[in-house]
Structure 1
Amino acid sequence: MKHYRIETIYTLLQPLSHIGESESTQSFLNTTTVVNDGKPEEVFVYTGNALRGMLRDCGARYLLNKLEIQVPLKAFHLLFSGGSIGGAQSLDIDQAKIIRKALPFVSLFGGGVGNQILDGKLKQTFAYPICRETNGILPSYVEKSDYSWRHFTNVIEFSRKDDEKNVNIADQFLLNNEETLLLEGDSKKKKKDEPATQMRYGVEYLAAGTKLWHRWDIICNELELGAFVSAIHEWQKQPYLGGMSGKGFGLVKADMDLITEDDREPFASIGQEFIQLGNTAKQAKDTYDAHLKEMYDTYLIDKKEEFTKLLAGEVK
């Protein structure tokens, strides 16, 4: 087992929406409290849970695409959501070793398998903006900022409208448009000549160009590191953070460095159109891909049922 410390600088290429709370028609960024120069201050934060969930989904997709299989619901929940515990919780060390060896992805992210919990090996921080409020908690190599994170935020407004009242499309595509329409769950009829319903709502966002810092700490073997890299490799196909990506939010680039006792080396660089893996990341991914090929040859050619039992924690 080795310790891998991976630090990432995310640069927003589009505005970021990561909502913490909403009030009426306004949604606000997620925040936390930090102590800066002895004073508590509010600052935006991108939660570690959101990053972990995003990577878990990507790693599960990579695994299943490589194995060219679909899985039953119980295994689906294990891979994408962490599974669940059925019955009294127990610890079967031999079974846990089998699962960790065969499924480094599950070993890395953890999950409920059968009637036991496998602890994941990923430890991480929140992702903080590089700003005045975080100068005291970010690594010394990160350039200090004189600007508050509030300088990087703004509010954009959207509108929802009732397209039923758009005669350019309703007359052509809406079935029985000449008739009055019943509102769902309402006994009153909606007349054709009523005004269209339109609502405006506001979303607070972090501006494009803002940089976020984040750190992973992983004590694992090379296979498990390869499972981590596979998740990054899958994520780079759509490198978005936060919500509302369908509205133009969340595109980022990421520069990831591996921190060692003596130096720092490039781990992965993710741009809009490419991913460049460093030597350690590439070697780990190659090892993981070879392991998945061996799993395919061992289980999925004529032993698919055994693989399903493995995912369900039924292999003894």
Structure 2
Amino acid sequence: MNIKTIELTFELTSPLSHFGDEPAGTMQTLRRQKFRINNKYEDMPVYSGNALRGILRTLVMTDYFERIGIGVKSVSQNLYYTFFNGGSLKSGGVENLALKTSIKQNCPALVLLGSAYRSMMTEGKMKVGILKPVCAELNEYNRHKTDESIYSGMLSGTFYTRKDRLKSSPENAKDVTTDNKEVMQMKYESEVFSAGTKLESEIKIEFADELEYSCACHMLNLLKESGHLGGKSSVGHGSFTLTASEDLDSMSKLYVDYVSEHKDDMLNWIAEMENTLNA
């Protein structure tokens, strides 16, 4: 069976923020999912596969448009959604084999990640796993085994403050209303994975040809080069080093060369896609 797996290990070099949906006052907690541990279901902090998949899509599509010489801001909304958001379903059929063939020939990343083309949907060949902390509690679920508990310091809290900078420096604008009250600062707290924490995941690529597999490796190489996950990257969160079970540099070459050799065909295809999606 043609299913390939690339194992990934992330080692954080700064705290990682990835907030869940549960409200907790002024504390923003990490996203959690349940795992059966010692015959009980426990909530464990994770980084979602959906979030990682979104980052990979953004990286590879931005890179694709740069390589063929199209500015992302110059494309239509429908085309942007198709490539960067997984598309949006609309009435009007475009179900045909020729379109699927043209996608395969001109944009392997769309084959891997899937999208919607008006009323037609294609499922991606690439499955992205959850990032799980390497900790004793999850030894049953992880490749890496350790005696270190998740509560040994892998989780920590950090806090930030926001203040009204305009009121603290009213000369920066001509119509600021001030009073004699002290400028207030708001404190908010965040739960984070600590620097040094390891997280593991895997990517499965199903029934892909050599070019599509090379594209998947290039996608992961872009992630490795970007070196950031999660929120608050503007204040230094989410940096990491990435180790993969595949030689990403060498395996990316086939895809990179293919895009370079077929750039003109891809430019023409993008124009055709614009017409198809906006008809």
TM-score, normalization by structure 2: 0.89
In structure 2, what is the equivalent of residue 115 of structure 1? 119
Moved more, 15-24 or 47-56: 15-24
Q: Match for residue 184 of structure 1?
A: none
Q: Percent identity?
A: 25
Within 2, Cα distance between the matches of 1:29 and 1:150?
A: 16
In 2, Cα distance between equivalents of 1:101 and 1:149: 49
Cα deviation digits, residues 93-151 of structure 1 (max 9, x gap): 33212222221111111001242111101113211001122111113xx2233413563
Map 1:1-316 to 2 at 5 A: 2-20=2-20, 21-70=22-71, 71-87=75-91, 91-139=95-143, 142-149=144-151, 151-166=153-168, 169-171=169-171, 174-176=172-174, 181=176, 190-219=177-206, 220-258=208-246, 267-268=247-248, 277=249, 282-283=250-251, 285-300=252-267, 304=268, 306-310=269-273, 313=276
Shift of 1:89: 5.8
Structure 1 segments of 4+ aligned residues over 4 angstroms from their partners: 311-314
Q: CA deviation at 1:92?
A: 2.0
Shift of 1:313: 4.6
How far apart in 2 are the matches of 1:294 and 1:113?
26
Residue 244 of structure 1, CA deviation: 0.5
Q: 1:226 & 1:257 partners in 2: Cα distance?
A: 14
* 1:4-29 per-position Cα deviation (integer Å, ceiling 9, x unaligned): 20011100100011101332221011
**CA offsets 1:187-223 (integer angstroms, 9 cap, x no match):** xxx4332321211111111100010010111021121
Question: Residues of 1 paired with 2:209 and 2:232: CA distance?
Answer: 36
Counterpart Cα distance in 2 of 1:235 and 1:257:
15
CA distance in 1, matches of 2:192, 2:198: 13
Higher helix share: 2
- Relative to structure 1, is the Cα distance of residues 286 and 38 closer, same or farther in structure 2, using a 3 angstrom cutoff? same
Quick one: distance in 1 between partners of 2:103 and 2:70?
A: 18
Query: Following TM superposition, by how much is the alpha carbon of 1:247 offset from its aligned partner in structure 2, in angstroms?
Result: 1.3
Deviation digits for residues 230-276 of structure 1, max 9, x if unmatched? 32233334211110011111000010104xxxxxxxx34xxxxxxxx
Normalising by structure 1, report the TM-score. 0.79
1: CA distance, partners of 2:198 / 2:212: 28
1:290 positional shift: 2.4
Partners of 1:100 and 1:222 in 2: CA distance: 12
Cα gap change, 1:312 to 1:209, in 2 (>3 Å): farther
- Does the C-alpha gap of structure 1 residues 42 and 60 become closer, same or farther in structure 2, counting only changes over 3 Å? same
Q: Deviation of residue 224 (structure 1)?
A: 1.2
Return closer, same or farther for 1:89/1:49 CA change in 2, 3 Å cut-off. Answer: farther
Greater C-alpha radius of gyration: 1
Count of residue pairs brought into register by the alignment: 272
RMSD: 2.1
Separation (CA, whole Å) in 1 of partners of 2:8 and 2:275: 34
Is contact 1:74–1:312 with CA below 8 Å preserved after alignment?
no
Unpaired runs of at least 5, structure 2: none
For structure 1, the residue ranges without an aligned partner over 5 or more in a row are: 182-189, 259-266, 269-276
